[in-house]
Structure 1
Amino acid sequence: MLFNIHGHPAYCYTGGKNFNPTLPTAVFIHGAQNDHSVWILQTRYFAHHGFNVLAVDLPGHGRSKGDALTSIEQMADWLIALLDAAGVQQACLIGHSMGSLIALETSARAPARVSKLALVGTAYPMKVSDTLLNAARDEEQTAIDMVNIWSHSTIAHKPSCPGPGFYVMSGSQRLMQRMSKINPAKVFYTDFSACNAYANGEQAAQTVTCPTLFVLGKKDMMTPPKATSTLRTAIAHSKTTLIDNCGHSLMAEQSDAVLQALFDFAKS
């Protein structure tokens, strides 16, 4: 599904279903150097079980055109503009990593538009090491390799995870490489810089009144569960689901557990 946002085409995956304005809407927001496809299992299930789905490609990512936006605040404004273009008055926002910061900031800027908030693989502050920032700027493939290793709980997934012949780490690596190929403008560095610079997380969290869920991987080295303490304290009414044997790439490593946590939350 395509919308025109700020003069550029913006793509949203709908889970294989036509958009139906009478149904509740779930908006899925990907992280750095990714696109909507990281949510493929979760979005298809939601779309076939009573929800509208808008799994966005952020500007400069996937099928959405325009330059990658340089701040979390700009991305939140873009997301609000997308809700306007889609005619969605209120939605459940589900964001992973950088996408979780976008969802959080959107909730602070437009609280009446957010019915529920799910923050997956999140942290605040979401600081990025100088080594990784420099690699993303100067040696993008090195940065991809570093993140791919650090985002998974093990380099030796069993052959049946999640299906015979499917290799989780290779899939994540190829997606990040594809982002580099379709947009050579150092999107990884732009995304990481936006995460690193975002300073409104605690203030935004203090404004959240809607139901909120944290979904965290117990073995996440990129955004370890302890790094959510500021947000979880600020959103005192929030709930947390910790997923075993799982790193930062939660949707790939433990796809069914992530789906169950998100769907139960969205339906409750």
Structure 2
Amino acid sequence: MAQLDVVGAVLTYDDEGPRDGEGVPLVFVHGWTADRHRWDHQFAHFSPKRRVIRLDLRGHGDSTGAGVRAVDDLAQDVLALLDHLKIDRCVLVGHSMGGMIAQIVALARPDLVERLVLVGSISRMTYSRGRGLLMAASTLVPFRLFVAANIQRAFAPGHPREEIREYIRASAATPKDVVMTDYGAMRAFDVLDRVGEIEAPTLIVHGYHDVQLPVKQMLRKAKAYPNAVVRVIDAGHELPVERPAELTEALDRFL
């Protein structure tokens, strides 16, 4: 675990694996209310053979800092870390909000992104009816209840309840201002009209049972990509922890 001072925050990150390993470094970016440990399975699998980097976004996990008004601000943090580590080429992997960040990075720095992997993410935020109702009620219900409702819905039916409770506890530990401000930033996110500019080979992995960001929204994004392959997995929104081995296998094959 290492740390980097950026404007208004201290970012915590892991940087492991051989510098002369297979291929360019893998960079993992987690989603809303999560932390870098969402990628534990992938980190353990890839780090023995290639350089792997993951970070806690500002205000999440072991990083400090307030919430942001735009997803672009989080992308600037990722770019600051990669510049600090002197990464000039990488495979960028993002889950949910992390996938939004990854798309912004790929658009801003096409020279930096050799390949792109988007897990449970979209290019234009369009709320499902249930998510819209949650958003409308967010100012009327206790914070923990708001977080619990979002995290509960993120998992496919049948996922172990105790594990879901643990993720709810971890998410609710994220400062309220970070949770709500970042939620607003995601609400405004829209790069759908620009993703046709992303020429890097792209893997889009999505959960069939994802009700947070439904498959039909992902397909709207996938059609806009000029060089993408889609993999749909029998899971909900939290693919990195619901089906970690399947996600790792999909990423391994793509690489």
CA RMSD of aligned residues (A): 1.9
Task: Return the alpha-carbon distance in structure 2 between the equivalents of residues 262 and 135 of structure 1.
Answer: 37
Tell me if structure 2 keeps the 8 A contact 1:140–1:188. Answer: no
Corresponding position of 2:242: 253
- The amino acid of 1:12's aligned partner reads Y
Corresponding position of 1:149: 152
Cα drift, residue 65 of structure 1: 1.6
Cα drift, residue 29 of structure 1: 0.7
Corresponding position of 1:5: 6
Could you say what secondary structure the match of 1:70 adopts? coil
Tell me if structure 1 keeps the 8 A contact 2:67–2:179. Answer: no
Corresponding position of 2:20: 22
Farther-moved stretch of structure 1 (189-198 vs 103-112): 189-198
Cα drift, residue 94 of structure 1: 0.5
1:58 lines up with 2:62 in the alignment? no
Tell me if structure 1 keeps the 8 A contact 2:198–2:226. Answer: no
Q: How does 1:1-268 map to 2 (within 5 A)?
A: 1-6=2-7, 8-14=9-15, 17=16, 20-23=18-21, 24-48=24-48, 50-128=49-127, 129-137=131-139, 139-157=142-160, 167-179=162-174, 183=175, 185-199=176-190, 201-244=191-234, 246-265=235-254, 267=255
- Which runs of 5 or more structure 1 residues have no equivalent in the other structure? 158-165
Could you say what secondary structure the match of 1:119 adopts? strand
Tell me if structure 1 keeps the 8 A contact 2:222–2:228. Answer: yes
Tell me if structure 2 keeps the 8 A contact 1:133–1:193. Answer: no
Deviation track 1:58-109 (CA, whole Å, cap 9, x = no partner) reads 1111111222222111111221111101111111111011110100011000
Deviation track 1:123-171 (CA, whole Å, cap 9, x = no partner) reads 23223444323554552211222112211111453xxxxxxxx943123
Cα drift, residue 224 of structure 1: 1.3
Corresponding position of 1:163: none
Q: State the aligned residue count.
A: 248
Task: Return the alpha-carbon distance in structure 2 between the equivalents of residues 51 and 137 of structure 1.
Answer: 44
Task: Return the alpha-carbon distance in structure 1 between the equivalents of residues 3 and 159 of structure 2.
Answer: 38
- The amino acid of 1:102's aligned partner reads I
Tell me if structure 1 keeps the 8 A contact 2:97–2:186. Answer: yes
- Which runs of 5 or more structure 2 residues have no equivalent in the other structure? none
Could you say what secondary structure the match of 1:213 adopts? strand
Cα drift, residue 22 of structure 1: 3.4
Deviation track 1:196-241 (CA, whole Å, cap 9, x = no partner) reads 1012x11331111111000110111111111012321111320011
TM-score, with structure 1 as normaliser: 0.86
Could you say what secondary structure the match of 2:193 adopts? helix
Q: Kindly, what percent of the aligned residue pairs are identical?
A: 25
Deviant stretches of 4+, over 6 Å: none
TM-score, with structure 2 as normaliser: 0.90
Tell me if structure 1 keeps the 8 A contact 2:31–2:95. Answer: yes
1:156/1:33 CA distance change after superposition, 3 Å: closer
- The amino acid of 1:81's aligned partner reads A
- The amino acid of 2:82's aligned partner reads L
1:80/1:156 CA distance change after superposition, 3 Å: closer
- The amino acid of 1:144's aligned partner reads V
Deviation track 1:173-197 (CA, whole Å, cap 9, x = no partner) reads 1220222xxx3x4222112111110
Cα drift, residue 9 of structure 1: 2.1
Task: Return the alpha-carbon distance in structure 2 between the equivalents of residues 79 and 42 of structure 1.
Answer: 19
Tell me if structure 1 keeps the 8 A contact 2:95–2:119. Answer: yes
Corresponding position of 1:160: none
